[in-house]
Amino acid sequence: MSDAVLHTRDERGVNRLTLNRAEAFNTLSEEMLVALQSALDAVAADPQARLVVLAAQGKAFCAGHNLKEMRAQPELAYYQKLFAQCTRVMLSIQSLPVPVLARVQGVATAAGCQLVAQCDLAIAGSQASFGVNGIDAGLFCATPSVPLVRNIPAKQAMEMLLTGGFITAEEARARGLVNRVVLLEELDAAVEDMAQSILAKPREAVAMGKALFYQQRETGIAAAYQLAGQTMACNMVHPVAQEGVQAFIEKRKPQWPA
């Protein structure tokens, strides 16, 4: 089996998926996409999973697609298959019932920036940078633009896409691409802090909320309210909410079901 993605899981249900091709700047090669999809599928099948931390080895988080690999097969059918494979990975991140938190220690470019944008949450080291610079090679970053424009304002996204310019970690935070920026030596502590906050919440409510969050975002406001109301009603009758509300009334900490 490929070791392109290292998959570890702790007793809390935190899955750490680490891109493990530092020498290739963790590009989304065919091997990497297959390994990442396999790891995401394993998390999706695990009822005890609570969180995914997506990390990377080396100086780069992810430098996008492997252009040498792509150039070696200049056929439309090959490219269609490759981008469909990448899209499946991205949609798998969104459809997981648990949050996916990107731990960004270095540069994230093109499809690597797409990967960060697709994650539910992201924490970056202060030296990280972000770009969708395919345009520099004559290739507009079309697929990366999909989650990018769902993270940051349209004109800022278009500027990045058309100029190929990079933004700093602090600029990424200001624009909404990442949640927090910390010093590299504080990155793991910041990831753990956010993980602890998420793990303190009931898995069922988090899963319902994540699914609703993305579903309602793609619809009109009336339909969004209908979906949200139905989700809240279903959430309210679930034992975790019943216990949570009762604990609030009794002014005590909730005792979530195991």
Q: Which of 138, 134, 172 is nearest to 153 (CA)?
A: 172
Domains and CATH numbers, the chain: 5-199 (3.90.226.10), 203-249 (1.10.12.10)
pLDDT band at 258 (very low <50, low <70, confident <90, very high): low
**pLDDT computed for residue 208 by the predictor:** 95
pLDDT band at 71 (very low <50, low <70, confident <90, very high): confident
For residues 124 and 105, give the distance between their C-alpha atoms in angstroms, rounded to a whole number.
6
Q: Which of 89, 85, 92, 23 is nearest to 58 (CA)?
A: 23
pLDDT band at 51 (very low <50, low <70, confident <90, very high): very high
Residue 20 has pLDDT above 90, yes or no: yes
- Other C-beta atoms closer than 10 Å to the C-beta of 153 total 11
Residue 127 has pLDDT above 70, yes or no: yes
pLDDT tens digit sequence for 216-256: 998 988 887 888 788 878 887 888 888 888 888 899 999 87
For residues 21 and 71, give the distance between their C-alpha atoms in angstroms, rounded to a whole number.
19
The length of the chain in residues reads 258
In terms of DSSP H, where are the helices of the chain?
30-44, 67-71, 76-95, 111-118, 142-148, 154-163, 169-175, 187-199, 203-217, 221-236, 239-249
pLDDT band at 166 (very low <50, low <70, confident <90, very high): very high
Q: What angle do CA 224, 229, 235 make, to 5 degrees?
A: 125
For residues 18 and 177, give the distance between their C-alpha atoms in angstroms, rounded to a whole number.
20
pTM equals 0.91
For residues 148 and 120, give the distance between their C-alpha atoms in angstroms, rounded to a whole number.
12
**Beta-bridge partners for 123:** 103, 180
26 φ/ψ sector (left φ>0, alpha ψ -120 to 50, else beta)? left
Compute the mean pLDDT over every residue in the chain, rounded to the nearest whole number: 94
Residue 115: which residues within 8 A CB-CB, separation 6 or more? 28, 54, 61, 62, 90, 102, 108
